Structure 1
Amino acid sequence: MSTVEFIGIAATRPVSETGAASASAAVPGADSAASAVTAQSGSGSPSGAVIQPGYLKALATAHEEAGFDRVLVAHSSASPDGFTVADQVLTHTDRLGVLLAHRPGFVAPTLAARKFATLDAFHPGRVALHVITGGDDADQARDGDLSDKPTRYRRTDEFLEIVRRSWDSAEPFDHEGEFYTVRGALSGVRPERPIPVYFGGASQDAIRVGGRHADVYAFWGEPLAGIAERIRQVRAAAAPYGRDPRFSVSLRPIPAATEAEAWQRAQEILRLTKERVGDLRRHFNLDHSAQHGSQRLLAYADQAEVHDKRLWTAIAKATGAAGNSTALVGSYEQVAESLLDYTALGVSTLLIRGFDPLADARDYGELVRLVREQAVGTAELAGAGRP
């Protein structure tokens, strides 16, 4: 992994708060009928085929060419199967990895462990697990899970214990717990190198479980002081288990050649988002109001529209903080500087995605280059200063 790990986003069709309608039409091999429908759509609702293989391939290729390490394959109750999407991304690229989101509770942990290990065997070292316990009760219920959040976090804790044993154990093992009973479990496929476990969640239950299991703990894009506070909390939760997790922050950069141009673009993104957010909410039928992460972002948005140097909260406010929705606005150099402010706190992974996913993935290559060059330079200076 590079000094700073960059993660982008995978998608099987062009979807964005702003519509991003132009993206599909420019993709070689994309479904032409779907492209036409998408381009003609005046709403924020995604149009055309849910699976557009040409678009996914182009998006993955764009991330690889821009220097990203991985792309996130996200999850909801309506999403295409993530394992299939991840395999397509890995097959159509040479180096790019995937961060495959998975909700514990729907697949037995021994089977989930084999599914991840099998994917990793075909694409060694390019697979990571992103554990999403689930913050939207209604979305969980659509797949048949009626448990409450505290129960889900207890289940996640037990799930990850069994997954890791399945990956690590060369001998049959038994497990009997609150949610799972296993007798003589032994996987015929195990990863040669550990599959990294990323973990998301802002509640105290999330911090408790993530502190025990996470290799990388993921935060949404809060102000620097908030991220520093959360890093301290997770480290304190991890310490009793002898763990020292890394940290990730998710942000939505809006860079341009000049700061003025970036803010012009940001205001246009906000205008389109406000026009289309109702359509997107109806289409995806998701409710983030009970998620602690969303509540934190909305609290910051109420305090100020801009935090630190250029963390912009207006999109979070307009969307009800639906997912990672805070932006960094400025010139390429300014946005890179702000990203490095997070790495200075101890963040090693930056999950960045744009409002026109394909075009922005291509454009972010400049940010990736600037951040990595400056991170290496800072590390060399620090090394030179040591006695």
Structure 2
Amino acid sequence: MAVNQAPEVEFGWYMPTRGDGPYIGVKSERVVDTPYMIRVAQAVENAGYTFALIPTGGTCSDAWIMGATLAAHTRVFKPLVAMRPGLIAPALAARIGATLDEVTGGRALINIVTGSSPEDMKAMGDPLAYDKEARYERTLEYIKIVRELWVRSHGAEGRQFLAGGNLAAGNPEGAASTFDFNGKHFSIEGGKSYPPPVQRPHPPFYFGGSSPAAKKTAAEIADVYLMWAEPIDWIKEQIAEVEHHREQLLEREGINRTIRYGLRAQVVIRDTEEEAWAAAKLIISKVDEATLDANEIQFGGSQSEGQQRQNQVRALAKANDYVIGPNFWAGLSAIRGGGAMAFVGTPDQVADRLLEYVQIGITSFILSGYPNLEEATISGTKLIPAFRRKFAELFQADLSETAS
């Protein structure tokens, strides 16, 4: 962590549109509908979280509509919604994203989802379901178009549409310039987007992916590069790889980008460590062996390099009751895919673990727990204050050492 300026650290939560409850690996015990999602969003906001990831694919509700709905029932809550290149035309996605930013007063965050399972991508009609390299090529073109349309759209602020929806003839001063693009996957002529986004130059792009192609793409388009929680040395290596591609971009094209780094993890926070571990074990207490066996086959066959890395962490920790290290547990990853590694302990203990990641460059945390409604409040009201206090103490200690 730099000693001359404390980094800004943000905390986000997860919206359980796939289902919620105290146990995983079994049927959801709760009715998870729009009123429930509103309750979760309001609990997230009241607990001190500033944004929330809204998942996509599978049995999830549409992230854009859900995000707009939740923003309408909150004050500062920022919805992190999924933009899926190839499923919606980029110029239309730019208009939808800018509109979300406008109607929420500048609260839109964009999660770039290049792919998911081949089954989900086929179900959505994606012709590149089995071509990962081509999907990242497509993503790069797509986000460059969206970004350029957003940047150019700021010239249209204050312009009045005439009858028929056309701007005044020509390109008067202050009007947004149009954009032409002819790439391998997309072509547009006279492209434009309206309204302009509230955020300048545009809503931030969050992006994840552990493959070499993903990291190279991240260097060009990600404002926040997201990773599923792993041991610190593993995360350091991933950051170094993205930074290498960022430096190559600077050398090759003279483009000097700033990238923040984020971590997606589960948390189980209790007043004592014993209570926390008991609560963590309870989450998986109802799963049966058949489900565990089926999940092991499914996760083992995943094409996602991020999922394969999660599998490796779980395998290394299995003999130690899935304990990866102090307050760090892989037990949930045997049942749920994706970001399943959990920080388990007291508020101070988990705050210490998160600070270890801040010291290697992590400034964005997306957390979740079971059930999400209650755990958002528990973690937000106990973990975040403990983290802020320890963060301030650590930063002041760094300043003192530098001054001496």
Q: TM-score, normalised by structure 2?
A: 0.83
Q: Which amino acid aligns with 1:299?
A: Q
Aligned-residue sequence identity (percent) comes to 31
- CA–CA separation in structure 2 for the residues paired with 1:341 and 1:48: 35
Q: What is aligned with 1:31?
A: none
Q: Which amino acid aligns with 1:260?
A: E
Please give the per-residue CA displacement for 1:229-258, whole angstroms capped at 9, x wherever unaligned: 111011111222422210001111112111
Listed as ranges, the gaps of 5+ residues in structure 1 are 20-42
Cα 1:68/1:111, change in 2 over 3 Å: same
Q: Is the 8 A contact 2:205 2:222 kept in 1?
A: yes
Q: What is aligned with 1:267?
A: 281
Match of 1:202 among 207, 210, 224: 210
Q: What is aligned with 2:265?
A: 251
SS in 2 for 1:364: helix
Q: Is the 8 A contact 1:136 1:288 kept in 2?
A: no
Match of 1:293 among 299, 302, 306: 306
Please give the per-residue CA displacement for 1:113-159, whole angstroms capped at 9, x wherever unaligned: 11110010111231110111113111100011131111111110100
1:146-295 correspondence to structure 2 within 5 Å: 146-147=127-128, 148-169=131-152, 170-192=176-198, 193=200, 194-239=202-247, 240=249, 241-274=255-288, 277=291, 289-295=302-308
Per the TM alignment, residue 340 of structure 1 is displaced from its structure 2 partner at its CA by 1.2
Q: Which amino acid aligns with 1:110?
A: A
Q: Is the 8 A contact 1:312 1:329 kept in 2?
A: yes
Cα 1:361/1:2, change in 2 over 3 Å: farther
SS in 2 for 1:153: helix
Q: What is aligned with 1:63?
A: 44
SS in 2 for 1:323: coil
Q: What is aligned with 2:329?
A: 312
1:1-387 correspondence to structure 2 within 5 Å: 3-12=8-17, 14-15=19-20, 18-19=23-24, 44-46=26-28, 52-147=33-128, 148-169=131-152, 170-192=176-198, 193=200, 194-239=202-247, 240=249, 241-274=255-288, 277=291, 289-304=302-317, 305-316=322-333, 318-319=334-335, 322-365=337-380, 366-387=382-403
Q: What is aligned with 1:39?
A: none
Please give the per-residue CA displacement for 1:259-292, whole angstroms capped at 9, x wherever unaligned: 11111122222323457957997xxx99971111
Cα 1:288/1:218, change in 2 over 3 Å: farther
Greater shift, 235-244 or 332-341, is seen at 235-244
Please give the per-residue CA displacement for 1:78-104, whole angstroms capped at 9, x wherever unaligned: 322211100111111111111112211
SS in 1 for 2:75: coil
Larger Rg belongs to? 2
Please give the per-residue CA displacement for 1:298-330, whole angstroms capped at 9, x wherever unaligned: 1111112222322111221x22x6111011111
Q: Is the 8 A contact 2:299 2:311 kept in 1?
A: no
Listed as ranges, the gaps of 5+ residues in structure 2 are 1-5, 153-175, 250-254
- CA–CA separation in structure 2 for the residues paired with 1:217 and 1:197: 9
Cα 1:91/1:280, change in 2 over 3 Å: farther
Q: Is the 8 A contact 1:44 1:279 kept in 2?
A: no
Figure out how many residues of one structure are paired with residues of the other and give that number: 358
- CA–CA separation in structure 1 for the residues paired with 2:145 and 2:344: 43
Give the superposed CA RMSD. 2.4
Q: Which amino acid aligns with 2:377?
A: R
Q: Is the 8 A contact 1:16 1:44 kept in 2?
A: no
SS in 2 for 1:90: helix
Q: Is the 8 A contact 2:206 2:225 kept in 1?
A: yes
- CA–CA separation in structure 2 for the residues paired with 1:277 and 1:257: 32
- CA–CA separation in structure 2 for the residues paired with 1:287 and 1:173: 44
4+ long deviations beyond 4 Å: 47-50, 273-281, 285-288
Per the TM alignment, residue 336 of structure 1 is displaced from its structure 2 partner at its CA by 1.3
Greater shift, 252-261 or 263-272, is seen at 263-272
Q: TM-score, normalised by structure 1?
A: 0.86
